[in-house]
Amino acid sequence: MEEEVHYLTLKSSNNASTLIFSQQYSNVTRVELCYASIPVKEKNEPVVLDIEEFRTGYTDEGLDVIRSRETTSPVRGFFATIPAEGLEEGERRIFKETSDYLYGINYTTPINFTRLTTRVLDQSGKPGFEEGHTIVLRIISRRISEPREPPRQPPRRPLPPRNSQRPVIMIPQRQMR
């Protein structure tokens, strides 16, 4: 199975946005968060990323590195919860997969989308700051190969026409006595 990898950058000047693409992203099996720059609404409170097209039925959790405990958002099914320990209200939380942790969602049933509707929320599910955000996603999709034509058979040779002039071979039979 071959995979295609796409990087999408979502930028918004407020806490909610919809980005419509000129192409459809099909057979998406994994979405990974590569980078995010998001303002923190309350001191030390995690930031929740809601991307409507990527919702799942699971609770999102983020690792709180400073206190070595997990923080669980009471909102369910949203794309990601990013811890913001040590940040004051209004500061920007910069998330990088290379320095924070790897975060992604696998889809057992591939999804398709032509737009992404993004909201930044606080831990209780209320809208975050009205400031903008930047998110970079890695989209991994299964490449569906084109159906192949069956191999071509060599042309059949026509049978020679039946000729009545062909010699007839007679086999003598034994005489009975």
Q: Is residue 147 pLDDT above 70, yes or no?
A: no
CATH classification of the domain holding 25: 2.60.120.1100
CA distance 83 to 70: 9
Per the structure, the count of domains in the chain is 1
Helices (H), the chain: none
**Could you read off the pLDDT of 16-75 as tens digits, one per residue?**
888 899 999 999 999 999 999 888 888 878 888 888 898 876 645 444 444 444 555 455
Q: Which two tokens mark 30?
A: 């994994």
Q: Backbone phi, then psi, for 66, in 5-degree steps? A: -65, -45
Q: Which residues constitute the domain of residue 134?
A: 3-139
Residue 18 lies in a domain: yes
Strands 47-51 and 59-64: unpaired
**Could you read off the pLDDT of 126-141 as tens digits, one per residue?**
787 677 889 999 999 9
Residue 85 lies in a domain: yes
Band the pLDDT of 8: cuts 50, 70, 90.
Answer: very high
Q: Which two tokens mark 154?
A: 């060599």
pTM score of the predicted model: 0.69
Across the chain, what does the average pLDDT equal? 78
Residue 61 lies in a domain: yes
